[in-house]
């Protein structure tokens, strides 16, 4: 569905400490220090060319064959290549995904409001503008959408792919900032990282809504058929999302390492609320595309019990994940 793969770092190469993350932001800050913020198509293209890794080392398989095959099929469908490299690749590809989304917003009309569009493409800039690199402003800004055309079959497919790529990049940012929070030296630092985690949960929810921001009939006619054999294996599913698999593991590690201080506990509670909104966005997409009346592709392929609807299954799954996050959260 896309021609140029987005080289997202393999999750095991992502930064896991504040020091690693700030080294990555420093490298990207140095790379973009002389750049104007992007708000028009030529500016987007110039900035994308600067940020996109021109060479990257493919990441070798890291999981069992059955899991790796499922992850790889999902990556390939959405135009993602898993790379091995320095931590700055994480931030560079996040910004590239945001630029691609800005270009998509300029091309195809959106139901998101101005503030939502700005947040959708502003997460990478938020990291770059952290206290270590103040005054950077928004490197990627929401475009002028007045000339955007309504989605059609071609642009709906492009939006589905582009929105998912941004969603994956945001999930990586949740994983990174949650891991940094788990390793924080004190409660104030932990709360600061958790606030970034909340931001990226909310941005990921927006990315999911953006990916599905077109008419249900376009999905039924032009998108859903591409996610069935022979294009992909039977039962193609969001459960094949590699970045969500690692996000869950990162959050489970964080859960028992929240420091015993009110500021950290309050930040963790905000994270649990943000995760509920993130999973709620997935339920919204299921319902928008008819999931209240039928099953998911996985259920229709017989790989899950089909005694319920796709939207209800998504709600059950969301509730289970949020319950786990809201469980025991104090370090021993």
Q: Which residue, chain included where needed, has tokens 């959408």? A: 145
Kindly state whether residue 129 falls inside one of the protein's structural domains. Answer: yes
Kindly state whether residue 1 falls inside one of the protein's structural domains. Answer: no
Kindly state whether residue 93 falls inside one of the protein's structural domains. Answer: yes
Kindly state whether residue 291 falls inside one of the protein's structural domains. Answer: yes
- Give 332's pLDDT tier (boundaries 50, 70, 90): very low
Kindly state whether residue 331 falls inside one of the protein's structural domains. Answer: no
The reported pLDDT for the residue numbered 43 is: 93
The reported pLDDT for the residue numbered 140 is: 94
Q: Is the pLDDT of residue 262 over 60?
A: yes
Among candidates 146, 194, 20, which has minimal Cα distance to 90?
A: 20
Contact yes or no for 79/161 (Cβ under 8 A): yes
Kindly state whether residue 41 falls inside one of the protein's structural domains. Answer: yes
For the entire predicted model, the pTM comes to: 0.94
User: If you average pLDDT over every residue of the chain, what do you get?
Assistant: 91
Q: Is the pLDDT of residue 46 over 90?
A: yes
Reported as a single tens digit per residue, the pLDDT across 15-30 is 999 999 999 999 999 9
Residue 217: domain span: 6-325
- Give 104's pLDDT tier (boundaries 50, 70, 90): very high
Distance from C-alpha of 246 to C-alpha of 250, rounded to nearest angstrom: 6
Backbone angles phi, psi at 38, to 5 degrees: -90, 130
Domain count, the chain: 1
| DSSP 8-state assignment for residue 54 | S
C-alpha to C-alpha distances, 147 to 154, 209, 266, 318, nearest whole angstrom: 17, 21, 43, 37
The reported pLDDT for the residue numbered 289 is: 94
With pLDDT > 70 as the criterion, what percentage of the chain qualifies? 94
Kindly state whether residue 330 falls inside one of the protein's structural domains. Answer: no
Q: Which residue, chain included where needed, has tokens 């590809």? A: 93
The reported pLDDT for the residue numbered 310 is: 81
The reported pLDDT for the residue numbered 42 is: 93
Kindly state whether residue 332 falls inside one of the protein's structural domains. Answer: no
């Amino acid at each position: 569905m896309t021609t140029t793969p987005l080289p997202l770092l393999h999750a095991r190469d992502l930064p896991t400490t504040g020091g690693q993350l700030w080294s990555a932001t420093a490298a990207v800050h140095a790379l973009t220090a002389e750049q104007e913020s992007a708000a028009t198509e030529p500016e987007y293209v110039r900035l994308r060319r600067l940020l996109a890794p021109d060479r990257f080392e493919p990441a070798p398989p890291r999981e069992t064959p059955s899991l790796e095959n499922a992850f790889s099929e999902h990556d390939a469908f959405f135009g993602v290549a898993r790379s091995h490299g320095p931590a700055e690749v994480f931030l560079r590809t996040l910004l590239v995904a945001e630029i691609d989304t800005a270009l998509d917003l300029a091309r195809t009309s959106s139901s998101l409001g101005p503030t939502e569009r700005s947040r959708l493409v502003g997460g990478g800039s938020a990291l770059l503008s952290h206290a270590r690199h103040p005054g950077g402003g928004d490197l990627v800004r929401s475009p002028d959408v007045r000339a955007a055309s309504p989605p059609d079959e071609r642009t709906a497919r492009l939006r589905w792919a582009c929105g998912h790529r941004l969603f994956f990049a945001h999930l990586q940012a949740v994983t990174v900032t949650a891991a940094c929070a788990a390793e924080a030296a004190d409660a104030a630092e932990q709360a600061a990282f958790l606030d970034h985690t909340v931001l990226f949960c909310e941005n990921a929810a927006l990315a999911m809504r953006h990916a599905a921001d077109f008419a249900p009939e376009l999905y039924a006619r032009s998108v859903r058929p591409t996610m069935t054999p022979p294009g992909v294996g039977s039962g193609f599913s969001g459960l094949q999302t590699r970045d969500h698999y690692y996000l869950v593991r990162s959050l489970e590690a964080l859960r028992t390492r929240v420091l015993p201080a009110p500021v950290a506990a309050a930040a963790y509670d905000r994270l649990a609320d943000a995760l509920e909104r993130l999973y709620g966005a997935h339920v919204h997409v299921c319902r928008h595309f008819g999931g209240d009346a039928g099953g998911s592709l996985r259920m229709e392929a017989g790989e899950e019990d089909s005694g319920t609807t796709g939207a209800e299954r998504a709600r059950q799954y969301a509730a289970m994940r949020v319950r786990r996050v809201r469980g025991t959260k104090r370090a021993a």
